[in-house]
Homo-oligomer: A and B are copies of this chain.
């Protein structure tokens, strides 16, 4: 089943203890769409500037991602400049240039409107709501957000939470949003705002999924080296939503598998800078790592 994503397409400049990358294609919609594209038809809503050429759009087209909803506006593409230290569990933003993103008004192409699965990437909550309300036959809508919106737009964010089925956020964001240090309590407080499903991303420690019926926790994949964590959260969401949309099945057993596929995609993304690893990934590698997650976490009663 079709999956629509709205989010950022960006040029990222990233420094980590493992090296750096200058002006590489990134953004939440990009990382999400590439991860999800292994499982289903993905349709992107975003804005780029005049400096985002055909060679950049080819990244999406090669994975058969629909870019009809990617608007080209006068001006420069959104730019993010960040760095990571120590265990790399959090980014430090050095500079954000909104550029064409400043006046972005997402428009959903007619052909996108009936997609049953929707991911609202980390953008202004008012825009997330605007997109959500343009989609009228959704089966599962998931929203991602970050500290910046929790602090700057709490009212809009709460409204957006009230109109979605699921949210993804990291442990620090869950604590900031709810004021609760205990993550299970924080997840329950978030469920009380609307979303039935809460996925808390815990970086190297993995992901926890809270639903009204069950809790599922998957540890992080034990990588020897993390080169660049940028995009890990969006890759997780892409694997998760992509797998659900591709199978059209949101049962408990499938939600569990979707968390693992999300974890698989995120674990690849962080192996190299920007999209490098994502662009040389194969389906065989994805399925092999899915089985490795089983081996990593399985025990017999």
Alpha-carbon distance between A218 and B206 when the two chains are bound, in angstroms:
10
* Per-position binary interface string of chain A over residues 252-268, scored 1 when its CB falls under 8 Å from any chain B CB and 0 otherwise: 01001101100000000
Nearest B residue to A293 via CB reads B299
A295 and B222 form a contact (CB under 8 A): no
CB neighbours of A223 from chain B (8 A): 182, 184
Partner-binding segment picked from A142-150, A156-164, A209-217: A209-217
Q: Please tell me how many copies of the chain the complex holds.
A: 2
How many chain A residues touch B (Cβ–Cβ < 8 Å)?
43
Alpha-carbon distance between A183 and B224 when the two chains are bound, in angstroms:
8
A residues in contact (CB < 8 Å) with B = 17, 86-88, 175, 181-185, 202, 204-206, 208, 210, 214-220, 222-226, 253, 256-257, 259-260, 290-291, 294-301
Can you identify 17 A-B contacts, CB atoms within 8 angstroms?
A17-B181, A86-B181, A184-B222, A205-B205, A206-B217, A206-B219, A208-B219, A216-B297, A253-B299, A253-B300, A256-B300, A257-B299, A257-B300, A259-B299, A260-B299, A294-B301, A297-B299
